[in-house]
């Protein structure tokens, strides 16, 4: 039996003291774990909605080049659900988003700027294959800063010694970078410009580098160049045959708890109105072989 | 990729630590042993990168040293060269974030060196600089070394500011922390593991050294 | 000859502020500076050496002006060549006895400096501790090293601030002899501060007494 008279000073070195300490620590740990678990179970204000068929919010992971178009489509979708479902967007480089989903990130829809990333998810059986669809097409353009004293008029000009820095997306994670690398390779410029490339983490960062004049030129999608407005000048468009078709696939994620809502979002994207929004921002239709925009 | 990143990290960190050593000692001495108007302001300015989020520091570095930056534009005009996307830019980022650590440790150490030793040195005919080298520095050695090791470790792990001013270009500016980021982002688990292990090992050594240095005997 | 004519205002927290004000000429030989604690003796020494700057006045040693508030001259410590033996000796903790003593020697190769340092140590009979660090020395040994160090730099005048206060009574007698000898050998003026009457009596042919920042009694031989 523990004689509590001797424990008043909490003598840690006595056996009784240690037992008491162990009990305190155990109680604290149980309390902490309980708090943690309580937080995990519910999902804030959606705890009710989890069980209902109508979701309160869905998460769409989309390539960053889709940012402006999708934000508008998100509003359209919300209106269509009678303002009951909002869209949480997660924009980034398609490769990074793919990684996140592979690692269990809670996305309901994935829209990529390249087939490669979607194929990777399909191979791991992470998407609802019957929901997969190509919804848009893009073109690759060469842009320069608005006030640049380096004259670049074509892709071939990139090989000129006066061009010191060229921004492209990181081919490992950014589809725009992959396409750019492909195009440069096809045009026979890859080796000549290799040591002048500045790799960006996503295509919008490429745009940013050009806007800020940190680089002499950059390769982005025509839709991004449009967003850049007057701060950048488009000097050339890459021929469609210099790279794989820039097709954007979209699909619902199998692990989603809002598959129905996810598919409804995809429907909106594929609908006539959705396609009109995309066209507004410079995307061409996925079905047309020769994009006119 | 791993080798490139390791070599680059070692290059950037050794240059940065060397710069931090010299600049840090100068400011530590200034703050510890002299009085002048605006001294506390200088101290605050030098400490700022310690509390500022690295990306904010990175932003300010771009504003200052980017091709169209306040200073960078002049440099670019004169030389056609810019700090952006170069390993030198990475060095600047590393120096800015690790300097405060060095100064904090070194200043405290220098301040704890009794003024009587320096006064004795002056009465024996030595000037400020010689006194600093032969008396103050040896007596403040421990704190200064600790500061350097901390600065080294901080520089080695610098990510945010480096990414912004120097970019993430393999072979040119991709230091180890950036390489890990890319390895994870592109799904290369094996590489990420190796890089993380190497960095962890280096950090452990740094911590061990710092503790060891702090524990050695003090001279009177 | 040392000429001092200074004034300095002090703001003490405990007592009312007091002003140090004195005018004196100190000649060759041994001069003892006595007075109660807080009289300003150490302050005076610090002003002579340049550690403290007076508010007003003039300090001159053998026609070399150290300080003059009118002419705005304040020669830095290192150029005054005033040897100082601090109350706590202030021996460099990271240097041996030889290195401490040799620190202030200005001319000669490192080997020559070391030799002269050793000679100095021998003069004070402490050559056997040449390689020891200050923390390995007794109080008496430290005091001798401090004195040797100050004199090795060949100063024009030597100031000793209560050098024996930390030494035990038995050693004190012997050390006093050595201090006197040192002064005779080097021939430079020594100003020796003490608040110990016995010491003062024993040393003081020339004597200055201070109280509350002023000289109340002076018995000096001006030369």
pLDDT of residue A47: 42
Q: Is residue A35 classed as helix, strand or coil in its secondary structure? A: helix
pLDDT of residue C204: 63
Q: For position C17, which CATH number holds?
A: 3.40.50.300
Q: Above 70 in pLDDT, residue A5?
A: no
In sequence order, the 6+-apart residues with CB closer than 8 A to the CB of A199 are: A167, A168, A169, A170, A171, A177, B167, B168, B169, B170
Q: Is residue A233 classed as helix, strand or coil in its secondary structure? A: strand
A-chain residue closest to B174, CA distance: A199
Q: Do chains A and C touch (3 or more CB pairs under 8 A)?
A: no
Total domains, chain C: 1
Position A247 confidence tier, pLDDT thresholds 50, 70, 90: very high
Mean pLDDT of chain B: 89
pLDDT of residue A51: 43
pLDDT of residue A50: 45
Could you say which residues from 81 to 110 on chain A have a Cβ atom under 8 Å away from some Cβ of chain B? Answer: 93, 95-96, 98-99, 102
Mean pLDDT of chain C: 86
pLDDT of residue C82: 93
C88 contact residues in B (CB cutoff 8 A): 116
| Residue, of B206 and C204, whose pLDDT is higher | B206
Cβ distance of B124 and C153 shorter than 8 Å: yes
Could you say which residues from 1 to 40 on chain B have a Cβ atom under 8 Å away from some Cβ of chain A? Answer: none
Position A217 confidence tier, pLDDT thresholds 50, 70, 90: very high
The Cα–Cα gap between A10 and A22 comes to: 12
- Do B154 and B206 form a contact (C-beta atoms < 8 A)? no
Q: Is residue C189 classed as helix, strand or coil in its secondary structure? A: coil
Q: Least CB-CB distance to A201: which of B66, B82, B168? A: B168
Say whether domain B2-215 belongs to CATH 1.10.3720.10.
yes
**Average pLDDT for A112-134:** 93
β-pairing, A133-138 vs A246-252, is antiparallel
**Six token digits for residue A139:** 């073109």
Position A14 confidence tier, pLDDT thresholds 50, 70, 90: low
| Cβ-based neighbour number of residue B88 at 10 Å | 18
- What are the pLDDT digits (tens) for B111-151? 999 899 999 999 999 998 999 999 999 999 988 988 998 89
- What are the pLDDT digits (tens) for A175-210? 999 999 999 999 999 999 999 999 999 999 999 999
Q: Above 70 in pLDDT, residue B220?
A: no
Q: Above 90 in pLDDT, residue B23?
A: yes
| Cβ-based neighbour number of residue C155 at 10 Å | 22
- Do C130 and C122 form a contact (C-beta atoms < 8 A)? no
Residue C10 domain flag: yes
- What are the pLDDT digits (tens) for B123-134? 999 998 999 999
| Residue, of C176 and C150, whose pLDDT is higher | C150
Position B96 confidence tier, pLDDT thresholds 50, 70, 90: very high
Cβ distance of B85 and A212 shorter than 8 Å: no
Rounded percentage of chain B residues whose pLDDT exceeds 70: 97
pLDDT of residue A116: 92
pTM of the predicted model, to two decimals?
Answer: 0.74
ipTM of model: 0.89
C91 contact residues in B (CB cutoff 8 A): 120
pLDDT of residue A16: 64
DSSP C128: G
Position A293 confidence tier, pLDDT thresholds 50, 70, 90: very low
B116 contact residues in C (CB cutoff 8 A): 86, 88, 90
**Average pLDDT for B152-160:** 90
| Residue, of B87 and C204, whose pLDDT is higher | B87
pLDDT of residue B2: 80
In sequence order, the 6+-apart residues with CB closer than 8 A to the CB of A144 are: A150, A152, A210, A216, A217, A218, A232, A233, A235
- What are the pLDDT digits (tens) for A38-56? 655 544 444 444 444 456 8
- What are the pLDDT digits (tens) for C47-68? 999 998 988 888 988 888 999 9
- Do A222 and A237 form a contact (C-beta atoms < 8 A)? yes
The Cα–Cα gap between A1 and A290 comes to: 88
Domain that holds residue C209: 1-80+195-223
Q: Above 70 in pLDDT, residue A65?
A: yes
Cβ distance of A198 and B85 shorter than 8 Å: yes
pLDDT of residue C169: 79
The region of weakest confidence among A233-237, B79-83, C7-11, C113-117 is C7-11
Residue C38 domain flag: yes
B123 contact residues in C (CB cutoff 8 A): 49, 51, 77-78, 80, 82-84, 150
pLDDT of residue A19: 76
The Cα–Cα gap between A60 and A110 comes to: 6
The Cα–Cα gap between B106 and B146 comes to: 8
pLDDT of residue B169: 84
């Amino acid at each position: 039996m523990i004689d509590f008279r001797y424990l008043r000073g909490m003598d840690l070195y006595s056996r009784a003291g240690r037992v008491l300490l162990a009990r305190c620590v155990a109680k604290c740990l149980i309390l902490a774990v309980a708090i943690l678990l309580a937080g995990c179970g519910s999902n804030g204000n959606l705890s009710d909605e989890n069980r209902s068929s109508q979701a309160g919010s869905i998460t769409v992971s989309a390539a960053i080049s889709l940012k402006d178009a999708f934000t508008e489509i998100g509003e359209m979708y919300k209106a269509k659900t009678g303002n009951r479902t909002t869209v949480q967007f997660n924009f980034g480089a398609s490769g990074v988003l793919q990684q996140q989903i592979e690692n269990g990130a809670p996305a309901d829809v994935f829209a990529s700027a390249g087939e490669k990333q979607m194929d990777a998810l399909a191979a791991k059986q992470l998407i609802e294959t019957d929901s997969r669809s190509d919804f848009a097409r893009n073109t690759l353009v060469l842009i320069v800063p608005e006030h640049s004293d380096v004259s670049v008029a074509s892709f071939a000009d990139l090989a000129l010694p006066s061009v010191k820095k060229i921004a492209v997306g990181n081919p490992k994670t950014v589809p725009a970078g992959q396409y750019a690398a492909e195009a440069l390779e096809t045009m026979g410029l890859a080796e000549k410009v290799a040591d002048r490339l500045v790799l960006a983490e996503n295509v919008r960062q490429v745009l940013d580098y050009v806007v800020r004049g940190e680089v002499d030129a950059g390769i982005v999608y025509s839709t991004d160049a449009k967003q850049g407005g007057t701060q950048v000048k488009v000097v050339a468009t890459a021929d469609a045959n210099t790279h794989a078709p820039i097709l954007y696939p979209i699909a619902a994620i199998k692990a989603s708890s809002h598959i129905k809502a996810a598919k409804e979002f995809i429907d909106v994207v594929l609908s006539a109105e959705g396609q009109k929004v995309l066209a507004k921002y410079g995307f061409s239709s996925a079905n047309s072989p020769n994009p006119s925009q | 990729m791993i080798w490139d990143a390791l070599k680059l990290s070692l290059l950037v960190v050794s240059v940065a630590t060397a710069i931090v050593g010299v600049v840090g000692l100068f400011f530590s001495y200034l703050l510890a042993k002299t009085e002048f108007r605006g001294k506390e302001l200088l101290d605050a300015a030098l400490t700022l990168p310690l509390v500022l989020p690295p990306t904010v520091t990175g932003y300010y570095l771009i504003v200052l040293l980017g091709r169209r930056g306040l200073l960078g534009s002049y440099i670019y005009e004169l030389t056609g060269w810019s700090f952006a996307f170069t390993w030198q830019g990475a060095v600047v980022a590393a120096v800015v974030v690790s300097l405060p650590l060095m100064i904090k440790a070194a200043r405290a150490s220098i301040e704890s060196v009794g003024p009587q030793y320096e006064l004795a040195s002056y009465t024996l005919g030595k000037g400020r600089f010689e006194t600093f080298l032969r008396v103050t520095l040896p007596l403040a050695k421990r704190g200064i070394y600790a500061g350097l090791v901390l600065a080294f470790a901080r520089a080695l792990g610098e990510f945010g500011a480096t990414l912004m001013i120097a970019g993430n270009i393999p072979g040119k500016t991709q230091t180890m922390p950036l390489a890990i980021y890319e390895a994870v982002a592109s799904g290369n688990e094996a590489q990420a593991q190796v890089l993380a292990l190497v960095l962890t090992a280096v950090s452990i050594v740094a911590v061990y050294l710092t503790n060891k240095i702090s524990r050695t005997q003090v001279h009177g | 000859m040392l000429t001092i004519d200074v004034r300095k205002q002090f703001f003490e927290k405990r007592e009312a502020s007091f002003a140090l004000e004195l005018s004196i000429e100190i000649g060759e030989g041994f001069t003892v500076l006595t007075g109660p604690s807080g009289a300003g003796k150490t302050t005076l020494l610090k002003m002579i050496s340049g550690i403290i700057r007076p508010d007003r006045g003039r300090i001159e040693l053998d026609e070399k002006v150290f300080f003059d508030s009118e002419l705005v001259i304040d020669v830095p410590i290192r150029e005054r060549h005033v040897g100082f033996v601090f109350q706590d000796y202030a021996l460099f903790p990271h240097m041996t006895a030889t290195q401490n003593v040799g620190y202030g020697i200005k001319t000669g190769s490192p080997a020559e400096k070391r030799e002269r340092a050793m000679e100095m140590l021998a003069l004070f009979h402490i050559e056997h501790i040449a390689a020891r660090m200050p923390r390995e020395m007794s109080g008496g040994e430290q005091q001798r090293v401090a004195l040797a160090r100050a004199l090795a730099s060949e100063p024009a005048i030597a100031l000793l601030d209560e050098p024996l206060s930390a030494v035990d009574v038995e050693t004190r007698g012997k050390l006093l002899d050595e201090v006197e000898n040192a002064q005779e050998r080097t021939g430079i003026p020594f100003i020796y501060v003490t608040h110990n009457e016995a010491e003062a009596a024993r040393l003081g042919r020339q004597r200055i007494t201070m109280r509350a920042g002023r000289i109340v009694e002076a018995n000096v031989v001006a030369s």
